[in-house]
Copies of this chain bind each other. A is one copy, B any other.
Amino acid sequence: MTRWEPGAAERLAQAALDLYAERGFEQTTVAEIAKRAGLTERTFFRHYADKREVLFAGAGALQEPMVAAVRDAPDATAPIDAVAEGLRAGAAVLEPRRPFSRQRQAVIAANTELQERELIKLARLGAALSDALRRRGVADPTASLTAEAGIAVFRIAFERWVDASEDRELSALIQESLDELRAVTAGARG
């Protein structure tokens, strides 16, 4: 029998991030993460497949509400506005996790393989938003183009949000980046 550990996933994630920051991602072992969290390796593997998954386990928690927001936007909503609803839903999930997201970003920035994994995660998110638009009856290439432009906005707003010098909320940075995208595609000098 395995004992239920309240908040084990969160404790393991925090212990992992602290160790990745202190020693580097490659140098940290699952045994060390479990020990730092005061849990067993067995408990670690009940929550995460490996030490990399600790950093990417949140992807589903982000994607589902984003896709749902695109799906549930009123029928008359333009594709870019439906995607904007999706981005705002993502911002609502991330906003309470800003300290964690900043710590996570520093770990990812230090490791090429993790950066590549992050790119792939964002591409999957883009494909999911594009599917959600197609299910709303938006044809291609409009669906893909709108979703990819939305992901570009999300990524750039996210990078600003995790920067230590930025204190505005993610939703405000997303709105600003969307406005900026409108201005640049219209040919503004920037």
Q: Are A189 and B78 in contact (CB under 8 A)?
A: yes
CB distance from A143 to the nearest CB of B (A): 7
Report copies per complex. 2
- The proximity string for A residues 132-172 relative to B, scoring 1 for CB distances below 8 Å and 0 otherwise, is 00000011011111101101110110011000000000000
Q: Are B190 and A142 in contact (CB under 8 A)?
A: yes
A186 close to B (CB within 8 Å): yes
Which residues on the B side are within 8 Å of A138 (C-beta)? 190
Which residues on the B side are within 8 Å of A182 (C-beta)? 185-186
Which residues on the B side are within 8 Å of A177 (C-beta)? 141, 145
CB distance from A44 to the nearest CB of B (A): 26
In the assembled complex, the Cα of A173 lies from the Cα of B143 at a distance in Å of 16
A residues engaging B (CB < 8 A)?
A: 78-81, 116, 119-120, 123, 138-139, 141-146, 148-149, 151-153, 155-156, 159-160, 177, 180-182, 184-190
